[in-house]
Structure 1
């Protein structure tokens, strides 16, 4: 690939973050058309570790969500399921879900859901399950108590059938279609994909997404021969110091019982950029194979929320909208926001975006967990840098 020239400042931006101890290392990629700039700065641990490289493998957390959404759309195009289909045919656990009478009601004060959950509800995060801005709501607190630990420790999660049975015992926070709720819909979607396809989620993603796009380093675990490219992950303690949270030879060293469609993948910047380029190219892989139709890509990357739904979850969406599996900018109220930009972040310290207005893909991977939905300064600066193309 050609190298972008000019005062882009990608390497300088990442170097400042390392020098300021924001992260021990980072890998960034900004591609516009045939031009690509990649910078790998720092190392995989504060003590030194392996130098960051273009092929370093990262836990991408919620950057899994757009990939899961795209996989679901391949099944729609196959005619196996439709957007308005009720998912209870494949997810009988959700055949008759209950909903708390009001979001503030105790978990034993429930009513029947007004209508079935559809595939569209899962893709748009309006299934009734998930996180609103208020984590203290009784049904939300119960969901978090039951499932939140699986986000950072995926090996603790049971298999899909047991996971679904546990979910079905918790009432929904809202009726289907009523409110935007974060995270859970993508995990439910992953189970749905596997059942509709008749194959485990990891197998289906490999066949329909990873192999056609050449995403050779993307999956739900890291084989031993690649583990030297996979570093530890960190969080921050109350004093702001980095704390080791996960090691390469730990829970990612074997296939999980529950492949999380919400946050279970590992990947490299080039692999995710290949996925982003496919979306920019209307669903076509580099070799000409079509993964999705332009119409499906347009649905994925268009806003499906109402203004009231967006305002209720500014904590997550920063005032922007939601497509299928990722956010969509609907206004330019911040320098990094450009209407039509499709993007998201991963709690493990990752972010990626596609911007049709500049025909660009931008991917930033670090190993330091975000700690909150608010993007850290490095992410915001990276988005602004990519927006200056």
Structure 2
């Protein structure tokens, strides 16, 4: 019978990835496999063997964590979902919207209503990536805000970032469309301003320390760089190109801690976060979220038309707060209610409330597009028992 190590090993052997760590947990049974190495063989110094505690850039797996931070403030009574964000983000007090998605950035109309906390959480505030990246209002997200593949040392500090955001029109009216990524970064700024703490400080105090997520943060301490993997993207013909080494972009805390994609973590830390969600917001006697906040995070928020308009929801997904929610059994691994997401650095983490499962796959190869690669799909199929 194939085990998780047998499933992952061929993808290392054929050069698809230098290494991978996978975790599949149900109840008291947890299976973990670490295969390959933290970097490409033949480099100097020689890469360390991949291990259970290897540290990865988790990219968009940061989004559910940031959404959970916002919900802790809701639980505290310091925010409500209907609050207008302008109270804490005055840069967004009078947003304007391009007249049509194809309009120039100076052809704008006033927003029909204020942006709310819920709009940020469910990615319907009007900022973010649509299916067409060529639209004029999308270009400034890349040029001025450095949205896209994470590069933490190249982004301005939060106040300057928000000032730049205020100069960019919304692509769609608030509540009208699901748009990717940008609202999770805005959530991170919101958490900092409401709490009076930096986002790294707040996450450490309210989420990471209570859950024992000791290796999760926005940078890897110097003494732990030996456990940090290298990060690659596909190169022609068929090779891998180094994007970031262990002593690179994540070796110091960035000026802008990205709630959309800035975290590093391990399979066990992400397992702890998943267990908390499965436990209705608590685990090991420690409560992080209320059951109602977990329910809201893991409940579909989109209309069918909003769901169908996104190229990211190809296999039965929709969106809750900070992560996808499966709503249709399109593939063998789709279970309605499955919650989680994938990261552009080659990562994936989900919970399946109906079976009590947590699944985590961490690799260091950048995804080439919205369709999950074969390794990820085979992992999900395995985790679902198929």
Give TM class, smaller chain. over 0.9
2:162 aligned residue: 164
Note the residue ranges of structure 2 that are not aligned, 5 or more in a row.
none
Contact 2:216 2:266 in 1 (8 A): yes
Task: Tell me the CA shift for residue 176 of structure 1.
Answer: 0.6
Q: Which residue of 2 aligns with 1:215?
A: 213
Superposed, 1:11-22 pairs within 5 Å as 11-22=5-16
Partner secondary structure for residue 358 of structure 1: coil
Q: TM-score, normalised by structure 2?
A: 0.97
- CA deviations 1:275-309 (Å, max 9, x no partner) are 000000100022x1211111110110110000000
1:56: which partner in 2?
Answer: 54
- Who is 1:28 aligned against? 22
Counterpart of 1:236 in structure 2 is: 234
In 1, distance between residues paired with 2:144 and 2:385? 43
Q: Distance in 2 between matches of 1:255 and 1:148?
A: 17
Return the alpha-carbon distance in structure 2 between the equivalents of residues 142 and 111 of structure 1.
18
Once the two structures are TM-superposed, the CA of residue 45 in structure 1 deviates from its matched residue by 1.6
| Aligned mates of 1:295, 1:340 — CA distance in 2 | 15
C-alpha distance in 2 between matches for 1:355 and 1:42: 28
Write the distance in 2 (CA, Å) between the matches of 1:128 and 1:318.
24
> In the TM superposition, what is the alpha-carbon distance from 1:316 to its structure 2 partner?
4.7
Query: What TM-score does the superposition give when structure 1 sets the normalisation length?
Result: 0.96
Query: C-alpha distance in 1, partners of 2:65/2:314?
Result: 19
CA distances 1:229-269 after superposition (whole Å, capped 9, x unpaired): 00211001242310001011112111110000000000000
Give the superposed CA RMSD: 1.2
1:46 to 35, 40, 44: 40
* Cα distance in 1 between the residues matched to 2:238 and 2:145: 26
Q: Specify the alignment match of 2:4 in structure 1.
A: 10
Count of aligned residue pairs for this structure pair: 382
Q: CA deviation at 1:145?
A: 2.5
Partner of 1:4: none
Of 252, 255, 275 in structure 1, the residue corresponding to residue 253 of structure 2 is: 255
Q: Which residue number in structure 1 is paired with residue 67 of structure 2?
A: 69
User: Which consecutive unaligned segments of at least 5 residues does structure 1 have?
Assistant: 1-6
> Moved runs in structure 1, 4+ residues, more than 2 A?
144-152, 314-319
| Equivalent of 2:181 in 183, 199, 207 | 183
Q: Equivalents in 2 of 1:77, 1:315: separation in Å?
A: 30
Matches within 5 A, 1:205-354: 205-286=203-284, 288-316=285-313, 318-354=315-351
Matches of 1:201 and 1:194 in 2, distance apart?
5
Displacement of 1:149 in angstroms is 5.7
